[in-house]
Amino acid sequence: MTSSEPMLHVDDPATDDAGDSAAANDDVVACGQAPESPEQVARMLSRMPGERIVAERLLASLPDPFTLEQADERAAELLACDAWIGGPQEFVDVMMAHGLVQPDGDERWRVCDAAREYLRSKFDGSELEARLEADKAYLPGYRAIVKHLDNGPAYLPELDRVLAQTDGFAHDRSANYFLDVLEREGVVEWSDGWRLRDNGAELAKRLR
């Protein structure tokens, strides 16, 4: 995966405006030092306005420990594009600079504990019902994705084909859109393909 553009643009706390310095003092850490709390992780990621969702999704999908090859594979499958990323090494370098990723042996890295805790809270399913209600025009798409995954894991192109064969909603959303919502709510996860988590099986029963 290649690109001439940098993958992530993260503001440096040291260059914050004076008016923001007091609020930033409690989450400024030394370069490479792991953040100590999920709240600190959230503030760090908030400095990635255009790429926060990308970073969250990729970090949440990585095993511990992970390799550059695994990071590259996850990015290719999760995002279905390569325009945003300079490569897995750049991703690791940026995440290490902010302490979100730490070395773990030879050519391996691990997402720090505070980041893992933050990511678990982001993908806990607490807002699923409200999101499905707000997105009810696309409920047939959610139903098709979840029903298909109830039969076993699948990759993105396969899920796009499932949606193309599903009636009852405007076909202006790719499978990536539905997976993003379902992943954030803890319904699906990436593990050698997209698959349902435990609460995803319950949702599949309700959506049938």
Domains along the sequence of the chain with CATH = 13-122 (1.10.10), 128-207 (1.10.10.10)
Tell me the backbone φ, ψ of residue 41, rounded to 5 degrees: -60, -45
CA quadruple 177, 165, 129, 188: dihedral sign: negative
Q: Answer whether residue 117 shows pLDDT above 60.
A: yes
What are the pLDDT digits (tens) for 22-79? 344 444 455 668 888 888 988 888 877 567 777 887 888 888 899 988 888 877 766 6
What average pLDDT does the structure give for the chain? 77
Say how far apart CA 24 and CA 16 lie, in whole Å: 8
Q: Is the pLDDT of residue 98 over 70?
A: yes
pLDDT score recorded for residue 130? 78
80 has pLDDT over 70: no
pLDDT in tens, 134-162: 888 999 999 999 989 988 999 999 999 99
The helix (run of H) or strand (run of E) holding residue 111 is: strand 109-111
CA quadruple 206, 130, 197, 78: dihedral, nearest 10: 130
Query: What confidence score (pLDDT) does residue 103 get?
Result: 92
d(CA 128, CA 148): 19
> Which tens digit of pLDDT belongs to each residue from 123-138?
666 667 777 888 889 9
Position 19 confidence tier, pLDDT thresholds 50, 70, 90: very low
